[in-house]
A and B are shown apart, each in its own frame.
Chain A
């Protein structure tokens, strides 16, 4: 794998079901050892709860300028659990079965990471692509 949009994410953007800067977008630390990455997964309920080591609050300060998705860096507090292999982004509707998975990032400085009970901060790339660019 590589950092990529999920098909459910692409579909959501094209169908107008995902509004990056208006919807609640969250990320979680994904233990792929507990639930292997599956490109066919499309909603949050497709990934077992035990594989979601820590979930962020809503991403803040989201922007969409020039098709580039960006947001403020996000901190997950007091993270403990199994080693995390990737970061998964999704649209939170409040219902797992309708919360679309948007992207998966498995290439990042510091991944994989083993939580130690302390905070984990995700610092988004400050380059041209930020989180991702459509």
Chain B
């Protein structure tokens, strides 16, 4: 294969879609995309000549040869797409973790996805179970003034 291979990577919900010039055209879950990315990076780093990678399409092997630089680009692209797909797959958990941070007063989140941030805000505001996730519970916000005690003069008794 030469360096003209057209790579098309897309995130489709929790999956990563990959099209390599029509020779490989399918989708995988985010963890598979990360595994392929790691393997391609390792192969590209160690390659002297071309990198040959075996994809599995519908249970059948499909071998593609890459220039090492192209393999690295594909690995990086798959990794970036897998992170977005993973974020989508774990949106609820990320929102809950972010909500715990919000409840603890930390002014930052774990995602920049508007939908996840919105969900985290709702969870932080309404999910009373988070009290159990706070170390020592949610502290009461009561505040006290500091009174003063004035001791009067001792009573004088007269006989």
- A residues whose Cβ falls under 8 Å from a Cβ of B: 2-5, 10, 78, 87, 103, 105, 107-111, 113, 115-134
Contacts and interface: CB of A to CB of B under 8 A. Distances in A.
Interface in B142-156: 142-155
B149 A109 contact: yes
22 contacts: A10-B140, A87-B147, A105-B147, A108-B146, A108-B148, A115-B151, A118-B153, A118-B155, A119-B152, A120-B149, A121-B150, A122-B149, A124-B147, A125-B145, A125-B146, A125-B147, A125-B148, A128-B145, A132-B144, A133-B142, A133-B143, A134-B142
A125 B147 CA distance: 5
Contacts of A130: 145
Q: Is the interface of B mostly helix, strand, loop or mixed?
A: loop
A110 B152 CA distance: 12
Contacts of B143: 129, 132-133
A132 B149 contact: no
A133 B145 CA distance: 8
B149 A129 contact: no
B154 A117 contact: yes
B94 to A, nearest CB: 33
